[in-house]
Amino acid sequence: MIDTLEDSIPPLDDQTTKIRRLITSLELCHHKAERHVEVIIEAIGSGGTSKGPGTRPPRQRHPIEDLWQNCYDVLSKWCSGSTDEAVHLDVGGVQASELMAFIGDPTPLKVWQVQRIMDKVRSFLEPSFRYVEMVEYGEHYREHTEFRDLTMRTLIHGTKDGKDAEITLASAIDHLEPCHWNFVGNLVIVLNAIGGDLFPKEPFAACGRNIKLTPIRDRMKIVSNTLKAFCEGRDVSKDVDVNILRILGQKTPVKCCLAASLNKTIRSQLGF
């Protein structure tokens, strides 16, 4: 359908191309995914947007960055043995003392594993810093082969899409994305696993793993239905958001192509 629509429209202008890039970069596991979808819909309706990566004003800090900083500081204090200095901190409502209790007493292996989490968080706080995945780039950790191997062999016994499934501790750390909607929950699972509890009560959710658990799933189903209704020009029903239709405005071939592309992205990621 999208290919047919694209064939029927003239070459895309700069703004339409920019909207297409927003759609292709959309990740519904992101903690701001619902807002990102709203921005794309507004852009389709108006024919352009000033939003996108790198458009935040300089020195403007998002509240989530404070959460990341607290996480880094708590783990840093645990590694250095200065736990009393972190008692006033929390990460998403989970007190520092509780997070450190999950890990338990320090050992060289635990400290190394926690430092890998710190590296992951640091890569979000400092864009110039790169986190290197343990699973994919083993040669990067050749000086700590034993620690990496032990982390690779440690299995977390959880569920994936409702079925029993395992994930290695190394893979869980690699996929512990601070921008994820379930970052704090995932962090708790990983810290518990480092401390020896390999049977989490909740599923480990990551990009492409247990994404159906996202809290915006029901909302995205309505958005998907609305985009489909817009493209088909069908009558409004209870499963359609009339406000989205108002924002999209009058149907045009370009709008329809973009709306269909956004709908395809939503449906493919959430398995509708």
* Domain positions in the chain: 2-56+216-270, 63-212
pLDDT tens digit string along 144-191?
999 999 999 999 999 999 999 999 999 999 999 999 999 999 999 999
Query: Measured between alpha carbons, how far is 224 from 34 in angstroms, rounded to an integer?
Result: 12
52 or 271: whose pLDDT is higher?
A: 271
3-state secondary structure of 128: coil
Q: What's the whole-number average pLDDT of the chain? A: 92
Integer angstrom CA distances of residue 158 from 175, 184, 263: 15, 17, 31
pLDDT at 238: 78
Alpha carbons 89 and 117: distance in angstroms, whole number: 17
| Tens-place pLDDT, residues 241-259 | 999 999 999 999 999 999 9
**Nearest C-alpha neighbor of 202 from the set 238, 160, 170:** 160
| HEC profile of 11-57 | CCCHHHHHHHHHHHCCCCCECCHHHHHHHHHHHHHHCCCCCCCCCCC
- 8 Å CB contact between 4 and 261: no
Q: Provide the pLDDT for residue 3.
A: 53
* Rounded average pLDDT over 24-46: 96
Q: Does 54 score more than 60 pLDDT?
A: no
**Among candidate residues 214, 122, 128, 109, the one with its CA nearest the CA of residue 169:** 109
pLDDT of residue 61: 73
Sorting pLDDT into bands at 50, 70 and 90, what band is 2?
A: low
Q: pLDDT tens digit string along 99-132? A: 999 999 999 999 999 999 999 999 999 999 999 9
CA 181 to chain centre: 6
pLDDT exceeds cutoff 90 at 13: no
